[in-house]
Amino acid sequence: MASNSTSNSFSEFADRVLNINVDLPNAESIYKVMDSHIKRIGKTRHLFITGPSNVGKTKMAENYIQRYPGYTLTEEDGTEIDIKPVIYMEAPHPFTLLEFYHELIYALGSPRLGGVPKINDLKVRAYHLIARQRVKMVIIDEVNNIQTSGINKNTAMDAVKHMANKTNVTLVLMGTPEAAELRTLDEQYKSRYRPHSIHRFTECNEEFCSFLNRIEEQLRFPKKIGLGDVKSGLPQLLHYQSKGKVGYLVPIIQEAYDLLGVFQESFMNFDQATLTPYVLDEAYKIIQGDFIDDILNEKL
């Protein structure tokens, strides 16, 4: 019978597989810019980050929030306030001003208001919560939803700008490359939003292999996996399957380990959890339906 420490080593490995989280190569440089903006006293500046779907923008935002975790502040009268230095929200689709403020309030941890609230009432509520919870940065993902909704683009962008002006928060807008058009709608947007872009790994090169090596380091498998070793053939296969997109790469690896039984309670043998091209190919076949349309339609 396996000891508790031995059993823990298997379950802990399974947890590491489920929680693979390695920053993109240029993430740290973007974090530094975000830090400089969030700590700036006085006039705020904002960022506009673009990149294809599934390249890791959302995960990067989630990782950044961990740098400024929320906490509970108790005031003198005993009132508890949830302080949120950085909040994340997705632009609603279809984008309407009503849903924009609903999503903003939800990101602040407040329940959706019932009934049929007026837009201005939601705006006032959102602004109050931002001040109350000492929010310094608002990350708005999927801003490309503005472009595919019936709302006037300038109207939507002005609402976002007004929110930043009135609350003095730093904005980080994120979206697909097409969303860059929103930044060019007005000269003010060009000067206010500092542009950054995130790209997929276009080649199975040293940078891609280094990224895979960092995943292997995080997994801490007892034996060498060879994720970033071109001699193993795994990097070439993974790049082909994922098209260099982290949003596809990680699920393929996780699905492969699922096929190997890593997430089963009976998993007690690391020798049975060896990644091979065959297992990765089977994993790819299982999950490719989730992104086959993107792979077929995207301009590579």
Per-residue model confidence as pLDDT tens digits over 156-192: 999 999 999 999 999 999 999 999 999 999 888 888 8
E strand or H helix that includes residue 101: helix 97-107
pTM reported for the whole predicted model: 0.89
| Least confident among 41-50, 129-138, 185-194, 259-268 | 41-50
Sequence-separated (6 or more) residues with CB below 8 Å from residue 214: 22
**Percent of the chain topping pLDDT 70:** 93
Sequence-separated (6 or more) residues with CB below 8 Å from residue 106: 89, 112
Sequence-separated (6 or more) residues with CB below 8 Å from residue 290: 251
Cα separation of 256 and 143, whole Å? 33
From the number of C-beta atoms within 10 Å of its C-beta (0-12, 13-18, 19+), residue 80 rates as: exposed
Tokens 């089977």 locate to 282
* 299 pLDDT more than 50: no
Contact 233, 70 (CB under 8 A): no
* 118 pLDDT more than 70: yes
**Average of pLDDT values for 244-254?**
96
Contact 197, 49 (CB under 8 A): yes
Q: pLDDT-based confidence at 7, cuts 50/70/90? A: low
The tally of CA atoms less than 13 A away on the side-chain side of residue 280 is 21
Residue 245: closest CA among 285, 298, 286 = 298
From the number of C-beta atoms within 10 Å of its C-beta (0-12, 13-18, 19+), residue 76 rates as: exposed
pLDDT tens track for 142-157: 999 999 999 999 999 9
pLDDT tens track for 201-213: 999 999 999 999 9
* 294 pLDDT more than 90: no
* 15 pLDDT more than 60: yes
pLDDT of residue 75: 84
pLDDT of residue 39: 80
**Average of pLDDT values for 237-247?**
96
pLDDT of residue 123: 96
